[in-house]
Structure 1
Amino acid sequence: MELAAYLKSFLGLLAIVDPFIAVPMFLALTPTATAQDRMRIARIAAIAVFCVLSVGLLGGGPVLDFFGISLSAFKVAGALLLLLSAVDSFNAAPGRQRQTPEEEAEAHSKHAVAVVPIATPLLAGPGAISMVIVFGQSHPGVKTLGQVAHLGMLLLVIAVVALITWLTLRAAQRVSVVLGITGMNVATRVGGLITAALAIEILASGLTGLFPGLKQ
């Protein structure tokens, strides 16, 4: 993969993780927290995002092999999930793919919210995990030096996304004041558009893999 492809992977993953969509939830779940507590929760959430997506990246291939699922079939399934997430982003609200109303209600009764529900499923949800699995399997040769370098670059992409997530949550109060609801909704909708476009590309790649005749 060329550098442009990794940049595309970064933008796509950042769009689907979408730290801005977590800002209102982050503030709602920490109404009485001190500034130090919020910084600690933001740090734990970002680390959890990195860990969840890294496990998906490194463990996705063996899981697909274990269940006998082809990469093309998984691309189609993952693309449909990403499209659903993109539709929710257009509405500027997390959908049931990220968090159900029952999970949200349970979250308000918990004291430790950094990992669940902020990190997962709100940020590193099924759509983001599907995306990193697809990206991770896009380079042939599991044990080659090229594959090791490929996975290393994708881990760097995930790390940068996690860093941006940490910075956004760390400054959640200021982000909420500066951008306001409208500004955060605009950013979320732009991310949804990027996610939808990327999902269409993955869907097309998966369909041509399942049905080679479509290439003609």
Structure 2
Amino acid sequence: MIENYFAFATTVFMGLLAIVNPISAIPVFLELTDYMGDKQKRNVAAKSVLVAFCIILVFSIAGKLIFHVFGITLAALRVTGGILVFVIGYEMVRGKPESIGKSVKLGDEPVKADAGISMAITPLAMPLLAGPGAITTSMSYSAAKDVTHLLIVIAIYAIICFITYLLFLAGPRIVKVIGTNVMLVITKMMGLILAVIGVQMFALGIRELFEF
């Protein structure tokens, strides 16, 4: 029995890790929080993984019920997520103007105490860390099993969220090691990949919506 649980946990971990791919979210996080101080970056990182975990938790437990009550289809979720991911990737490739993302400050302190919560929710938590793929996978692993398997899925995603949080905080150190120019290239490459993923998600959602 324990071996079966361990095998299931390993499968869930590898599957969710591949879909979430926290390493690919590092350039996005660094790009969005470039103007922030260390404290704000930690705040955004913590909120993004917490929101992502709550999303997966809710959908793992009551995903099918939520979709049924609100008349939401997974195809519609894929279309919306695809559009959001494409826009994010496009902005990363194009490069943002200096004025974008600047917070209004009073002296050395931001006027808005909770600056960054919006980007922590979208795009970091949703759809990057808890997108349609992660939601679908977690629902699939949870639905056909008992409560123990459900708890394993939730625990595994919590571990992935913690790993993502550590990677976000280590982002600036990674930049120092590989250099700003290399990170700029990686950021633009990841932007292109995100844009392509967004188009693929959108196309798959459209295909599922109209069944062709």
TM-score range, shorter chain: 0.5 to 0.7
Distance in 2 (CA, whole Å) between partners of 1:8 and 1:94 is: 32
Change (3 A) 1:149 1:194: farther
Show the counterpart of 1:34.
Answer: none
Q: How does 1:44-83 map to 2 (within 5 A)?
A: 44-59=43-58, 61=63, 64-83=67-86
How far apart, in 1, do the equivalents of 2:19 and 2:202 lie?
A: 15
Residue type at the aligned position of 1:130: P
Give 1:87 shift.
0.5
Alignment partner, residue 9 of structure 1: 19
Write out aligned runs for 1:59-208 (5 A): 59=58, 61=63, 64-93=67-96, 101=100, 104-106=102-104, 108-109=105-106, 110-111=109-110, 116-117=115-116, 120-126=117-123, 128-131=125-128, 132-134=130-132, 135-138=134-137, 139-140=139-140, 142=143, 144-145=145-146, 146-169=149-172, 171=173, 175=175, 179-180=179-180, 182-208=181-207
In 2, the alpha carbon distance for the partners of 1:126 and 1:158 equals 15
CA 1:4–1:143: 2 relative to 1, 3 Å: closer
Distance 1:207 1:25, change over 3 A: same
Count the aligned residue pairs: 189
Runs of 5+ in structure 1 lacking a partner?
31-37
Hey, what does 1:33 align to over in structure 2? none
Q: Which runs of 5+ in 2 are unaligned?
A: 1-10
81-90 or 123-132: bigger deviation = 123-132
Output the CA distance in 1 between the equivalents of 2:131 and 2:68.
Answer: 12
- Structure 2: how far apart are the matches of 1:50 and 1:114? 19
Cα distance in 2 for residues equivalent to 1:164 and 1:114: 24
TM-score normalized by structure 2? Answer: 0.68
Residue-by-residue CA offset, 1:103-158 (whole Å, 9 max, x unaligned) = 7343x3454878522xx333542464134141123333547345543443333322
SS at match of 1:51: helix
Give 1:12-51 correspondences, 5 Å limit. Answer: 13-16=22-25, 18-22=28-32, 24-26=34-36, 30=37, 38=38, 40-51=39-50
2:166 alignment partner AA: L
Paired residues of 1:10 and 1:158 also in contact (CA < 8 A) = no
Q: Distance in 1 between matches of 2:151 and 2:166?
A: 22
Give the structure 1 partner of residue 3 of structure 2: none
User: CA 1:158 to 1:195, structure 2 compared with 1: closer, same or farther past 3 Å?
Assistant: farther
Separation (CA, whole Å) in 2 of partners of 1:94 and 1:161: 27
TM-score of the superposed pair, with normalisation by structure 1: 0.67
Superimposed CA distance per residue, residues 75-127 of structure 1 (whole angstroms, 9 cap, x where no aligned partner): 111111111111111123389xxxx95x7343x3454878522xx33354246
Identity, % of aligned pairs? 17
Residue 34 of structure 2 aligns to a residue in which SS? helix
SS in structure 2 at match of 1:69 = coil
Shift of 1:41: 4.3
